[in-house]
Chains A and B, each alone.
Chain A
Amino acid sequence: MRRGLLVLLAGLFAFAPALLSDYWTTLLDYIGLYALVVLGIVLLTGIAGQVSFGQAAFVGLGAYATAWLTTAHDASPWIGLLLGLLVTAVFALVLGLITTRLSGHFLPLGTIAWGLALFYLFGNLEFLGGFTGMSGIPPLQVLGHELRSAQSFFYPIWLCVLAAVLSIQWLLDSRSGRAIRALRSTASMAQSFGVDTATLKVKVFVYAALLAALSGWLYAHFQRFVNPTPFGLHVGIEYLFMAVVGGAGYVWGALLGAALITVLKQLLQSVLPQLVGSSGQFEIVVFGVLLIAVLHGAREGIWGWIDARITPLRPHRRMIAAAAAPAARARPAPDSVLLEVRAARKTFGGLIAVNDVSFEQRAGEILGLIGPNGAGKSTTFNLITGMLPLSGGEVRFRGQSLAGLPPARIARLGIARTFQHVKLVPGMSVLENVALGGHLRGGAGFVRGMLHLERAEERLLLAEAARQIERVGLGEHLHTPAGSLALGMQRIVEVARALAADPTLLLLDEPAAGLRYQEKQALARLLEKLRGEGLSILLVEHDMDFVMGLVDRVVVLDFGVKLAEGLPRTVRDDPVVIEAYLGA
């Protein structure tokens, strides 16, 4: 139904040049050119969370590469395209490697920095025409046909836009896409399920840059003149602007934003002088004010505003075909030693957070790690999962040392975890969130995802995710956005996600925190069931009552030191433990 409507609209759109005046077709061409860049920004900024002011510089690279090649060397524009993409890929790779390493607010400034630097570089290079620019760029030729008019240019531009939209939609709908959607607010979660977030960011960065370069190539042959002004910082800001006004988190927001800003500017230009006289330049003032008003009304952008009003009525359902489970890991022999923590130590400056703690976890048991607030439980947990480096001692898993391994590598060994502060991607469905847990059980990459060449594997992953959701008893919430569930359910989703990784050891970080009594009961039943299925669980918990009825053994920490270890009953009666909990 929805798809049919889209196809119909696209079909109508294809006739736009025939139906509209030259002028409106020209505007549509420009909208398409902008939309290509903005689509990249939606992916990079809105979805992956990397704010970039510098995209206009990549448009410039694409435009200048072809301009130079076709005017100075009489090459075909198609070779210009190849060169533009190549040059941009190289630049974006280098800049991406640097700038995606920048954290927080350093990132946008980094993009401003190279955006400005490239702008002045264009202006100061003699062979690129300096600030005055290069003219005489030949028009595109397709099948011996010269594309000179706005009508004829409409098709290449919008075919590129269509391809970009599809590729991004498909990408977001794939294994890599789920990881990308987790980058923005839950990158550390993604890492602990084996996502190489640093590389992924660079890939997204390069792809967004290539889209910009493609737009630049089209621009150069449409405009047939290039000079630095359209690639400056102000324009870079304007692209970001289009994304946010349209809806930075939505692919369609890119198109809407590009269209809205372009049309609004044109309308203001022709209508304002008639309303207020042509004595001053009111356009930019009214433009700014209108956009502030729009953002006041729709802070998720206009598409976000629309989406919030249509989506709840029609949740996006994914078909789940029956599929075999992906290959599972060999289970360790019951009761064999799984995890050994030997004199683990963590210091922050002068503070000793974990002081030579040692314990063992055996296969098939639930081990509880308990202690009052500030006892060092979470720090110990982070030492095991690789989120924090050890200051001393060692952690071995199935005989292998984990020291120095990043979270993604530790995940590969068969350790899956949940988070004390729930880390789900709120906009993704429960199904997709859980499928992210199975990241390492698939192998399809960025490009295959973009081209939808990984559907067989994708079916397997989704089926497995659905199975795990059934296993934890949330079968009816498969398609619900994870962010709309109650906290208790979100914690269960986290368990399902960890299970989707097919772990040997499941680490739970304060799973009962903030839960109501019934929710705790449900969680306890689930964990018992999982133990019954042969899973090993390490549980970090603060809530004594919850732990004591559930675990096989407990380790008690206080002020970074191990106070006691043993069966729940013996530990509970230990006077040292009682004192630590009740206070002196």
Chain B
Amino acid sequence: MASLAIRMAAVALCMLATQAVAQIRVGVSVSASGPAASLGIPEKNTFALLPTTIAGKKVTYIILDDASDTTTAVKNARRFVSEDKVDAIIGSTITPNSLAMIDVAAEASTPMISMAASARIVEPMDDKRRWIFKTPQGDGQMAQAIAEHMVKAGVKRVGFIGFADAYGEGWWKEFDTHTRARGISVVGNERYNRTDTFVTGQVLKLIAARPDAVLIAGSGTPAALPQKALKDKGFKGRIYQTHGVANADFLRVGGKDVEGTLLPAGPVLVAAGLPASHPVRKSALEYVTAYEKAYGAGSVSTFGAHAWDAMVLLRNAVPAALKKARPGTPEFRAALRDALENTRDLAAAHGVFDMSAQNHSGLDQRAVVMVRIENGTWKLIP
């Protein structure tokens, strides 16, 4: 008991002491527990791999779990800006949490890099969103890739089944827009819960609408459930998944039922299979190597790479900001924001970032590749 107290005191002292040295402090809010844990955990793991110095300055990451809950995410953000006096915020994993953190970051004039996908986080550009950036491809970009692939494959009728949460909802909106624009008719729109044990009802209804293909908008292993049910009930059409399934566990749980699945993903998923000329190949492999070295072969997931990319953005922007001000000052944060906005042609794990005053996402279609599952691995479709 006494030793615990001493340790706690030491911790408190350390916290005080580190605050005094001019260094770069980054507040990180990830959803490492709760419903989004399967996305948040690889992100959290990634932070352990990140360099501890950027441009000669020590970088401290203060990593907090927001339990996939918006209130906690905002609490974390308020703590970062008021208590930890961070120079930048990274987070959160999911869209609602990121949206909720915008006001806090913007009011404290602190740049924030979200790891969630929705375009709503950085659009429409306004006074608050000046401070907000994001690393993942938008759901819109991913949906566009799927829709284009469907057109090429001759899909006319398509069914949709997604999570009954922000993920499924965001995908539904983008998917609906992009398929409609290409003359594909959406014949079914179903929802299920991440922890549901059965989706037979939804799947039967989808099949009854006779689609040529079905898109399943779920993340991680729960996305395998509708696919298994579709196969069980004799669905023969194409099955598309979203990039949310891009981890090894999905392949493990899905087994032979997910063979032939098509999905859009960041190039990092198939980094080794990218042609040597691909602009992202080198930077993507850098992440994959680092992650698998720490956590074992095959452990990499594309979500962790969003965290990595956030660091890549910072690594690129910090030197410019350091020229203008010292870390820990409002001037530094403003300079950092400007530098982030000036990111040009920066290759990262998921694509090439090209920011502008109006575009705080910066990824173009080079950040999306179509992938097929073959023999239990991800294969790039050229």
Contact = CB atoms under 8 A, between A and B. Distances in A.
Instruction: Answer whether A and B touch in the complex at a CB cut-off of 8 Å.
Output: yes
Size range of the interface on B? 35 or more
B107 A148 contact: yes
A270 to B, nearest CB: 8
A120 B64 contact: no
Interface string A205-236: 00000000000000100011111011000010
Contact of B102 (A21, A124, A135, A229): A135
Interface string B5-41: 0011001001000000000000000001100010000
B74 A225 contact: yes
Contacts of A123: 164-165, 169
A22 B14 CA distance: 21
Nearest to B102: A135
A30 interface: yes
Given A23-B78, A271-B11, A230 B164 contact: no
A281 B48 CA distance: 15
A235 B81 CA distance: 26
Given A123-B165, A224-B103, A23 B82 contact: yes
Given A30-B75, A275-B8, A135 B164 contact: no
Interface string A9-32: 000000000000111001100100
A397 to B, nearest CB: 58
A219 B11 CA distance: 33
Interface stretch (A126-134, A332-340, A369-377): A126-134
A123 B193 CA distance: 12
A227 B100 CA distance: 9
Given A23-B78, A131-B169, A132-B166, A278 B71 contact: no
B166 A225 contact: no
B83 A135 contact: no
A273 interface: yes
Q: Which of B4, B11, B118 has the most CB of A within 10 A?
A: B11
A271 B8 contact: yes
B169 A132 contact: yes
Contact of A275 (B7, B48, B118, B166): B7
B96 A132 contact: yes
B354 interface: no
Contact of B64 (A22, A26, A224, A269): A269
A131 B96 contact: yes
A518 interface: no
B165 A225 contact: no
Nearest to A135: B99
B342 to A, nearest CB: 26
A132 B99 contact: yes
Tell me if A's interface is mostly helix, strand, loop or mixed: helix
Contacts of B74: 223, 225
Contacts of A131: 96, 164-166, 168-169
A266 B37 CA distance: 19
A132 B95 contact: yes
B63 interface: yes
Contacts of B99: 132-133, 135, 225, 227
Given A132-B120, A281-B33, A281-B65, A26 B75 contact: yes
A275 B11 CA distance: 8
Nearest to A222: B74
B79 interface: yes
Contacts of A284: 33, 67
Interface string A250-284: 00000000000000001001110111001001011
B241 interface: no
Contacts of B32: 281
A229 B111 CA distance: 25
B65 A283 contact: yes
B169 A150 contact: no
B338 interface: no
B31 to A, nearest CB: 10
Contacts of A235: 69
B289 to A, nearest CB: 21
Contacts of A124: 164
Contacts of B168: 131
Nearest to B74: A223
B96 A21 contact: no
A135 B106 CA distance: 13
Given A132-B120, A284-B33, A26 B78 contact: yes
A225 B70 CA distance: 9
A484 to B, nearest CB: 38
B166 A133 contact: yes
A22 B166 contact: no
B65 to A, nearest CB: 6
Interface string A294-329: 000000000000000000000000000000000000
A150 B102 CA distance: 16
Interface in B95-129: 95-96, 99-100, 102-103, 107, 118, 120
A229 B70 contact: yes
Nearest to A262: B75
Contacts of A132: 95-96, 99, 118, 120, 166, 169-170
B107 A230 contact: no
B70 A227 contact: yes
A362 B332 CA distance: 94
A150 B170 contact: no
A130 to B, nearest CB: 5
Given A21-B82, A150-B82, A281-B65, A223 B95 contact: no
Contacts of B65: 269, 281, 283
B361 interface: no
A227 B96 contact: yes
A508 B83 CA distance: 66
A24 to B, nearest CB: 8
Contact of B70 (A150, A223, A271): A223
A133 B75 contact: no
B83 A120 contact: no
Contact of B100 (A23, A225, A281): A225
Given A21-B82, A269-B65, A281-B65, A120 B164 contact: yes
B316 interface: no
Interface string A107-136: 000000000000010011000001111010
Interface in B44-84: 44, 48, 63-65, 67-71, 74-75, 78-79, 81-83
Interface of B: 4, 7-8, 11, 14, 32-33, 37, 44, 48, 63-65, 67-71, 74-75, 78-79, 81-83, 95-96, 99-100, 102-103, 107, 118, 120, 164-166, 168-170
23 contacts: A22-B78, A22-B81, A22-B82, A26-B79, A120-B164, A123-B165, A123-B169, A131-B168, A132-B96, A132-B118, A133-B96, A133-B166, A219-B71, A227-B70, A229-B69, A229-B70, A230-B69, A270-B64, A273-B63, A274-B14, A278-B44, A278-B63, A284-B33
Top 6 A-B pairs ranked by shortest CB distance? A22-B82, A23-B83, A225-B100, A227-B96, A131-B166, A274-B11
Given A150-B82, A229-B68, 17 more contacts: A22-B78, A26-B79, A131-B164, A131-B165, A131-B168, A132-B95, A132-B118, A133-B99, A135-B102, A135-B120, A148-B107, A223-B70, A227-B70, A227-B99, A271-B8, A275-B8, A278-B48
Interface of A: 21-23, 26-27, 30, 120, 123-124, 130-133, 135, 148, 150, 219, 223-227, 229-230, 235, 266, 269-271, 273-275, 278, 281, 283-284
